[in-house]
Amino acid sequence: METLDDIHKYLEEPFLKGLLRILILGTLKRGELYGYQIYKYVKNIIKSKISLSTFYTILKELEEAKFIIKIGSKYILTEKGLNALRLFLSKYNDLSSFLSI
C-alpha cells in the first residue's frame, strides 16, 4: 500500500518541480523580476510549500539551460526560454490559457 511519503516523493514532488519550472518561465514572460518576487508569485499560484533552496536550485537550472538569464539581481526570460515555454504549452494546450501565451 502507498504511503503519503511515497505519494509525495514519487508523484507530488516531481510534478511540483516541473510545474515550478513552467510557472517561472510564464512569470518572467511578463518582464524582469527579482528572484524573491518570482518566488512569492509562484508560491501563491501553487498553494504548496516550496522551499527557497528548491526554488533557487530550479532558477539556477533554468539559467544553466539558458532559458533565463540573471542580470544584477533580476531574472529575464530569454528567447530560448520563451520558445521552450511556447512549445511546451502547444503540447499541453490546456495550460496555455492559464498562462495566457
Grid coordinates in use for 93?
Answer: 494546450
Q: Report the CATH number that the domain containing residue 83 is assigned in CATH.
A: 1.10.10.10
Residue-number span of the structural domain to which 69 is assigned? 4-99
Q: What is the pTM of this model?
A: 0.82
Q: What is the pLDDT of residues 31-51, one digit of tens each?
A: 999 999 999 999 999 887 889
Q: How many domains does the chain have?
A: 1
Q: What is the pLDDT of residues 48-64, one digit of tens each?
A: 788 999 999 999 999 99
Q: Is the dihedral of CA 48, 52, 54, 58 positive or negative?
A: positive
The Cβ of residue 60 has, within 10 Å, a number of other Cβ atoms equal to 12
Query: Mean pLDDT, to the nearest integer, of 5-31?
Result: 89
